[in-house]
Amino acid sequence: MQLPKGVEWAAHCLVVLERLTEDHPVANSTLAEVYGLSPTYLNKHLQALTRHGLLISMPGSAGGFTLSRPASEITLADVVEALEGGGPIFRCTEIRCDGLFQPHSTEIRASGSCAIAAAMWTAEQAWRHSLAAVSITDLVQGVDAVSSKNLNEFVENKNVKVGPIL
C-alpha cells in the first residue's frame, strides 16, 4: 500500500503556486518546468485538484491554475482526499458475518460494529487529523533559503521573457 506519486507532486506544486501566484494564473507547463516533471501527467493531477475545488483553472493563452482559497486554508488532508478519493483505506467486508456466523448475521450486526474495523478507522482518523494540521502556508515557511532564491530568479527570468504581466 503506497500513496500515489501524484500526492507528492500536487503538494509541491501547491507550495510553488503560493509563491508564484500574484493575481495571475500559473500554467501547468511552468509548474512542470520548475520540478522537471512530465507536463501531461502533472496536468492530470492538477485537474483532480481542480475538480475537488482546491484550484481554479483558467483556459486561454494566458491561462493556468490559481489557488481557490488562501493557502492557510488548504491542508495536506485536502490534497490526499482530492487525489485519493477520501474513501477509507481499510475496507471492512464484514467477514464476521460469514461462514459459521452467517445464520446469526443480523444479531451480530445489531451488537455493534466490528471491533477490528473500528480500531482501523480510529487509526485512520489519527492519520487524517495529523495531515489536516499542516497547511500549505506551513509548508511554504519550511522551504529552504536556496530554493526560495532559485524560485525568485526563475520568476524574474520568466518576467523578461513573458512580458509585463508577470
Partner DNA sequence: GAAGGTGTACTCGGATAGGGCCTGTCCGAGTTATTCGGG
Partner DNA sequence: CCCGAATAACTCGGACAGGCCCTATCCGAGTACACCTTC
Q: Exactly one of 13, 18, 30, 78 binds DNA (CB under 7 A); which one?
A: 30
- How far apart are alpha carbons 108 and 72 in whole angstroms? 45
For position 134 contacting DNA by CB under 7 A, the verdict is no
Place of cell 509541491: 12
Nearer to a second copy, 51 or 129 (CB): 129
Sign of the CA dihedral with 152 first, then 32, 139, and 67 last: positive
Tracing cell 518576467 back to the chain, one arrives at 159
In the complex with a second copy, the residue whose CB is nearer, 4 or 58, is: 4
For 39-74, the DSSP string reads: HHHHHHHHHHHHHTTSEEEE-STT-EEEESS-GGG-
Q: Does 51 bind DNA (CB under 7 A)?
A: yes
Least distance between a second copy and beta carbon 60 (Å): 25
Please report, as ranges, the residues that interact with DNA according to CB under 7 A. 1, 4-6, 25, 27-30, 38, 40-41, 43-44, 46-47, 50-51, 57-65, 84, 163
